[in-house]
Chains A and B, each alone.
Chain A
Amino acid sequence: MSGDTALHVERLSAGYPRRRVIDGLTLAPLQAGHVTALVGPNAAGKSTLMLALSGLIKASGTVRFGGRNLLEISPAERADCVTFMPQQLPQGVALTVLESVLAALKAMPVAGLEMHGPRVRAHAFAALERLGIGNIAMERLSRLSGGQRQLVSLAQAIVRNPRVLLLDEPTSALDLRHQTQVMSLVRSLAREGRVVVVVLHDLNLAARWADHIVVLKKGASAAEGDPETALTSAVLADVYDVEARVDRSADGHLQISVERVREL
């Protein structure tokens, strides 16, 4: 592969009218092929950063990918390489699972993909099968459980085959089995050469599945690097105000257990 395939975030500022959440954030390059987990306490700016990266809120600075600043290209051009998965599907939508995935695919053309005929339907169905939910393709969205809805939401994101995949808490409604299934899929999506950024609240899940972790605190990066570098007792004390123990389990993964909340 030629050229630079990483996502570079430089001097990024973003927020809402009268409230800037992120101010001049620069991160180490987010490498293609790696899963980057975005962690941090509530209101640290995780969702704001995701919205800014996906172009859904106004941001200044540089988000460089493939030689272009994603903040300066049109929404349609950006959508060609970046897809964002919001946390939830809206309620009360009278569509079937397959229809919803087809809509995510056909609303805007995807570069290099035929948009008509049976091929496009097969492509949409393949996204469902990849998540193991091909069997609910004809089910109505309103009849699904919370976990199924989240998987469908993920299918709507991956069906466009983006080179940058931004996932906002894709495992929040899932049980243990499906958490593992989804994170393992997220990793294989990254290994195919994508930049994958995942917001996670569960630090153990982040430590287990992410190659690279960015810990946010008040809109700034408090630590970044591989799990061992980013998730230390000192960082957790600083960012979450807790006393936590970081151990290594028998199979070599980090395990974080919170002992007590620190007095403020």
Chain B
Amino acid sequence: MLLRPESGAAGALESYAALVRRRIVFVGAIAVLVIVAFIIDLATGPSALGVSDVLRGLYAPAEAERATAVIIWEVRLPQALIALLVGAALSLAGAEMQTLLNNPMASPFTLGMSSAATFGAALAIVLGIGIPGIPASWIVPVNAFLFAFGSVLLLSALSRLRGTGGDSIVLFGIALFFTFNALVALTQFMASEQALQQLVFWTMGSLTRASLDKAALVALVLAVVVPFSMMSAWKLTALRLGEDRARSIGVNVSRLRLGGLLRASLLTGVAVAFVGTIAFIGLVGPHLARLMIGEDHRFFLPASALCGALILSLASCASKIIMPGVVLPIGLVTSLIGVPFFLALVLNRREQI
């Protein structure tokens, strides 16, 4: 097994350099696909505005008809931007969580962060409970964010009680998932007809509440979080070699884990706050990136974010195309398309092993 002729250091280092170049090209290619999906997303919708109309409307808003400009600037653009940004946020959160908890099933959705955020939103919608002094239109998103954040703090506190292993965190996460889902069901039970409708909309996930300032806020959170994620890239890659090994070379794994989970809750909180619960992006995005690009986190993290952006953009297109004239809640689309896609992915992987 070890008797193959040596290709020599120069050859091996050259093929490593080629691998790195290939990965950069790959990340660039996904980025191009994201832009294409974004443009298609802009050009689809119940009103008949094609690519050229939309691009002209964006480029020279003054010349466009007023109705057209409103559709483009207040509906299509914010929704397409939010789809892109939320997809990136959820997928990046999922990628970091999967590495930090050493579990391929970890994601904002499966560990109860999304459920916690939904419960926070439900409290605001149904019972009007929120932080005093927050403007009425922001109570729901702020609550969603605070609960996502709180669920992560609870998760780390619980796991600290029992040692910091990744496995126990996953079990606690599943417990949180069911607890918060039950609490959401309870508020639904108590809700008035009108609040219930709003809540159901929330739990299904929808882009219809998108606006440009919300998109700007998600972009801001991403801009703050991504540099910290990238600074931890080598440490995260080393963590994939085993927790004992990472710690033995001096990586402070508890601090890495706490920081990463805080970043994930920030991303999840802001995402869920504006679009409701969207499952599977946080799970499928990282898986897709891992299959294509491996787990060198310098490439894996950006590739995960881009894959998430791509998937949610395409899902947004699909939500408008599947039933002409009707925009389906995007959370339904990702779940319905996501499940078979995910199964195919898992089965395919099994074969490879």
Contacts and interface: CB of A to CB of B under 8 A. Distances in A.
A89 B294 contact: no
B246 A134 contact: no
Nearest to B235: A107
Interface stretch (B115-123, B131-139, B237-245, B259-267): B237-245
Given A107-B237, A107-B238, A94 B12 contact: no
Interface stretch (A22-30, A71-79, A239-247, A256-264): A71-79
A56 B353 CA distance: 32
Contact of B9 (A89, A107, A134, A153): A134
Contacts of B241: 89-90, 93, 95, 100, 103-104, 156
A99 B238 contact: no
A118 interface: yes
B197 interface: no
A253 to B, nearest CB: 25
A86 B240 contact: no
A22 to B, nearest CB: 18
A100 B240 CA distance: 9
A153 B241 CA distance: 9
A93 B300 CA distance: 13
B250 A103 contact: no
Given A94-B290, A107-B237, A122-B9, A137 B248 contact: no
Contacts of B15: 137-138
B66 interface: no
Contacts of A107: 234-235, 237-238, 246, 249-251
A108 B249 contact: yes
Contact of B237 (A95, A132, A134): A95
Given A98-B12, A98-B16, A104 B238 contact: yes
Interface residues of A, number: 52
Contact of B240 (A55, A93, A108, A122): A93
Contact of B248 (A84, A118, A125, A145): A84
A125 B9 contact: yes
Given A56-B248, A107-B238, A137 B2 contact: no
A86 B1 contact: no
Contact of B294 (A85, A96, A122, A153): A96
A83 B248 contact: yes
Contacts of B2: 132-133, 135-136, 148, 178
B296 interface: yes
Interface in A120-141: 121-122, 125-126, 129, 132-138, 140
Contacts of B192: none
A93 B295 contact: yes
Chain B interface size, as a band, is: 35 or more
A90 B250 contact: no
B5 A75 contact: no
Contacts of B295: 93-95
Contacts of B296: 95, 99, 103
B350 to A, nearest CB: 11
B60 interface: no
A84 B102 CA distance: 20
A96 B246 CA distance: 17
B247 A90 contact: no
B19 interface: yes
A86 B244 contact: yes
A86 B353 CA distance: 24
Interface string A137-167: 1101010010110000100100010000000
Given A83-B248, A118-B13, A122-B13, A90 B240 contact: yes
Contact of B251 (A86, A108, A129, A142): A108
Nearest to B162: A17
A100 B290 CA distance: 15
Contacts of A89: 241-242
A226 interface: no
A30 B252 CA distance: 28
B6 interface: yes
B238 A137 contact: no
Given A93-B240, A93-B295, A142 B353 contact: yes
Which 3 residue pairs across A and B have the least CB separation, nearest first?
A79-B250, A107-B238, A84-B248
Interface of B: 1-2, 4-9, 12-13, 15-16, 19, 102, 104, 234-235, 237-238, 240-242, 244-252, 290-291, 294-296, 353
Interface of A: 51, 54-56, 75-76, 78-80, 82-86, 88-90, 92-96, 98-100, 103-104, 106-108, 118, 121-122, 125-126, 129, 132-138, 140, 142, 145, 147-148, 153, 156, 160, 178
23 contacts: A55-B248, A56-B248, A75-B247, A75-B251, A84-B244, A90-B102, A90-B241, A92-B104, A93-B295, A94-B291, A104-B241, A104-B249, A106-B238, A107-B238, A108-B249, A132-B2, A135-B5, A135-B7, A137-B15, A138-B15, A148-B2, A156-B241, A178-B2
